[in-house]
Amino acid sequence: MDISFTIIELGLMILLFVMAKVSYNRPSNKLRILYAAPAFVAVAMLVFVGFNKYHAGVYAAAVLILGCLFMELKKVKQKQIIAGLLAVVIAVNLGVIVHASGYKRMPYLKDFEEAFTVMKEHYVLTEEKGIDFDALYAKYEPLFREVDKTQDGVENYKVWQQFTGEFYDGHVGYKTKSESEMRTAFCEAYGNDYGLSLIRLSSGEFAAINVEGYDNSYTINSTDHDNLGLFLIKDDYKPDTAEADRLTLKNAGIKNGTIITKWNGKPIEEYFDDISYYMEQYPVRENEEFFQPIYVAGMGKDMKYGEMNPDSIVDITFIDTDGNEKTITAQSLGAYAPRMFDTMGKIDDGVNITNLNWQEVNEDTYMIRISEMIYDLDTYEGTDYTEMTQELREKVLALKESGVKNLIFDIRRNGGGSPYFVEGIACLFAPLGEHLTYYSAVINEETASFERGEDGRYKMGVPSGYVGEDLWHDGQIILLVNAETVSAGDDMTYMMGDFPNVTVMGFTSSNSSCQAVTGIGMEAGEINFSAVPNLLPNGEIAIDTYTDHVGRTPFDEKIPMTQDAITAIFDRGEDYVLQYAADSF
């Protein structure tokens, strides 16, 4: 749009160069008023595009040409010289807009329009999720229009997070194409770091976790690398007083596990309605509620959710060691996102070993880590996982022969992969006989969409399944999951969760997102969404939550969040969930 306005201004200057002589030969106030036209266009540019220093030549030309309004008609040459010079100025400005490395307008609104149109036509859970696309467009088009006007990349990220969150679908997500822009947006979108995160205990109380100043907690001085690359820019948001203020909480007696009763004088749960977007997608309401306190910890005094201010403060009310309620004021230590990301990692990460590797937990129990449903690149695009199955079969039989009684499958933070990989594992432990997993849906080739029957359900196509071997009939199995166990991780939870000797447990249930995914590449970013239905043998959509936001994968035991859990995770750096599972045998 900015280029269009600039070209219009250039055309007007050329027109005024010609009109200088025309207006002398045919005097008319209507012709003279044309000298005000560039100013009107510049104002329209400010309204629809927003102010930008790279448009300075256009603004200047629009103002300077107004001087010709008051010049005598006979001064044709002077007017032509002015119009000609200003045309050159605008032409140079146009070159700057098109070629300058420091300037590039992103088509944020166009990106939204493109993605929205495709999703409205091809998102496969519209009915099941209760999505009203017309209402979503009415709500978000003005927000993206404003982002397009201001060219605010951080706000673009925030609005996309809000939009994708409307679907309660772990397969609907947005990311920018530029990693550096994504890091910046992430750091600026979750508020300020006041030296702690928050968690809700199973008792209902709220406790401090990952408190600054303790050995195993995140620290603002950390130089550790992370998979988001936040270490590259996190110091950019650190106030000058951060080092002097970093031990404020510890010196006041707040430690990991300290009960926090109020945040800026309000109960913590009163902030939950202010959380308008999350870092992750939480289709299961109960999982969402588990993580809400973590997000509250970035909200400063008299600040809206997601705002940042290096000079901000927060009043924290807590129970001290004498059992008395006490309030302290903490200064911002920088961006909250790195601590928040670290907190979620400490809670959700699985065992840090290579995918499909085994580890002894104790003499009776072995654990296999499955961080992604991928065996190797050669098999990932296909359906034949017999080599992997045979390799696992030999290992399982050897463990059984050695006297091992219990197996733990660690699929925490499993980002998904191939469902055929999952079948290649599930078949070893399933009861004897044939097991159906999913049916495909019938696609209409002309419309490239999937057909629904009169009952509103998708028409069922070809089934998929496997034959169970029941190799661990006399032993026990635990699946460790959490809200970041998604896609094929959900598949494994669904397929194995109902086996008679399998227990599914974790702080949170799996994500509950299972449909096949497609992506839309746009200029500023890309969005993924559920595009191919997977159907259960009874014809229902597999696994994904409905409008009630209740998880539909098996979940047998919610591990309680207790003071013991906080101490183990944030003070001793232990894998509390794995040990809890081993002890439960």
DSSP string, 149-210: HHT-HHHHHHHHHHHHHTT--TT-EEEES-HHHHHHHHHHSS-B--S-EEEE-TTS-EEEES
User: For residue 1, what pLDDT is reported?
Assistant: 65
DSSP string, 100-132: -TT-----HHHHHHHHHHHHHHH-TTHHHHT--
User: For residue 541, what pLDDT is reported?
Assistant: 96
For the beta carbon of residue 360, count every other beta carbon within 10 angstroms.
11
| 377-422 pLDDT tens trace | 778 777 889 999 999 999 999 999 999 999 999 999 999 999 999 9
Tell me the C-alpha distance between 309 and 36, whole Å: 42
User: For residue 386, what pLDDT is reported?
Assistant: 93
Contact 544, 491 (CB under 8 A): no
**SS3 call for 482:** coil
User: For residue 29, what pLDDT is reported?
Assistant: 59
**Helix 108-122 vs helix 133-150: angle between axes, to the nearest 10 degrees?**
160
User: For residue 55, what pLDDT is reported?
Assistant: 82
Task: Please name which of 252, 251, 247 lies closest in space to residue 326, comparing C-alpha atoms.
Answer: 252
Q: What is the mean pLDDT of the chain?
A: 92
Strands 406-410 and 476-480: parallel
**Helix 133-150 vs helix 153-165: angle between axes, to the nearest 10 degrees?**
170
User: For residue 224, what pLDDT is reported?
Assistant: 80
Residues of the chain short of pLDDT 70, as ranges, are 1, 20, 22-32, 72-74, 98-104
pTM of the model: 0.84
Burial zone of 50 (CB within 10 Å; 0-12 exposed, 13-18 middle, 19+ buried): middle
Task: Please name which of 439, 441, 359, 352 lies closest in space to residue 407, comparing C-alpha atoms.
Answer: 359
Tell me the C-alpha distance between 180 and 185, whole Å: 9
Sequence-ordered alpha helix ranges (H) in 335-458: 337-348, 377-380, 386-401, 419-429
For the beta carbon of residue 2, count every other beta carbon within 10 angstroms.
19
Residue 43's contacts (CB-CB under 8 Å, 6 or more residues apart) are none
Provide φ and ψ at 529, rounded to 5°: -160, 160
User: For residue 10, what pLDDT is reported?
Assistant: 83
